[in-house]
Each structure stands twice: as structure tokens, then as C-alpha cells.
């Protein structure tokens, strides 16, 4: 299996309103350094999984609603708890939709996506699945 992975980041505020989150129940925030990996079984005629430039654009587009956002006020997250893991899955869904509509210019070859969010130097999460 081949893959290319590109990196971007967002800086968000949110609260995690459940007792399990202890001190993180109140309004706080995070920088999420986001890695998005696209997998294909083969390379195309140009030797590519997907074009890295298009992959960076697709990731930037998927992150746009999160950039400098208060996630408690983002309509898409209403009544959701926006944990790192949840956000991995949310971004994964956006990138899957981009891939499905050939927004990656890959002719439908992308078969798997992994989205990782690093929330600090000691913790990260990811979601990975076939599309």
C-alpha cells in the first residue's frame, strides 16, 4: 500500500461538558496539528498517490470551519462533544467526501484515509478507515 501524508493546523476553543473531562469541562482550547494520509494500491502514470499540492488544498479546505473557531458555536457540532477523536472523524468525513467527488484529482484511486490530530507533545489521536 502507498500513502502520502500532509500537515496543517488549527487553533480552536471549546468546552467538553461532561464530568469525565474534569478540568477540561470549562472553556479552554487547543492547537491541533493535523496530518491527513491518503492511501492507494498503485501509483498513477505520473508516479503519484495523489498530488501533494491538491492534498494540502483539500486538507486546508476541510479545516476552514475550524480555523480560529469556538467549536461550541459551530453549527455542525451542535450537541456534540468535540474531543480530539471526534474531530479526527469529522475531518476524515470531509476528506472522504472530497476524495469521492474526485476533488483530489486521483480518478477514484484513493481507497483509505487516516486523519491524525496531535494535541500536545504527549497526546494525539487518529481515525483511519477504507473509503
Residues that bind a copy of itself (CB under 8 A): 1-9, 11-14, 16, 18, 20-24, 26-33, 43, 46-49, 51-53, 56, 67-70, 73, 80-86, 88-89, 119-129
Minimum CB–partner distance for residue 49 and a copy of itself (Å)? 5
Backbone angles phi, psi at 87, to 5 degrees: -70, -35
Provide, rounded to whole angstroms, the least separation between the CB of residue 50 and a copy of itself.
Answer: 9
Please report where in the chains the cell 473557531 appears, as a residue: 69
Q: 86 Cβ partners below 8 Å, 6+ apart?
A: 80
The CA-based diameter of the chain, rounded to the nearest angstrom, is 53
Instruction: Decide if 18 contacts 25 (C-beta within 8 A).
Output: yes
Please state the closest distance from residue 131 (CB atom) to a copy of itself, in A.
14
100 three-class SS = helix
Closest distance of CB 76 from a copy of itself, Å: 14
CB closer to a copy of itself out of 19 and 101 = 19
Residue 30 or 95 having the CB closest to a copy of itself: 30
Amino acid at each position: 500500500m502507498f500513502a502520502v501524508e500532509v500537515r496543517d493546523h488549527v487553533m480552536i476553543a471549546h468546552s467538553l461538558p461532561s464530568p469525565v473531562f474534569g478540568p477540561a469541562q470549562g472553556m479552554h482550547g487547543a492547537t491541533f496539528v493535523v496530518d491527513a494520509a491518503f492511501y492507494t494500491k498503485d501509483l498513477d502514470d505520473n508516479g503519484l498517490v495523489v498530488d501533494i499540492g491538491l492534498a494540502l488544498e483539500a486538507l486546508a479546505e476541510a479545516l476552514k470551519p475550524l480555523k480560529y473557531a469556538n467549536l461550541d458555536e459551530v453549527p455542525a457540532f451542535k450537541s456534540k462533544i468535540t474531543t480530539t477523536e471526534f474531530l479526527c472523524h469529522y475531518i476524515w468525513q470531509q476528506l472522504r467526501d472530497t476524495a469521492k467527488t474526485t476533488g483530489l484529482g486521483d480518478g477514484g484511486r484513493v481507497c483509505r484515509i487516516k486523519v491524525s490530530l496531535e494535541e500536545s507533545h504527549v497526546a494525539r489521536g487518529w481515525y483511519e478507515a477504507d473509503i
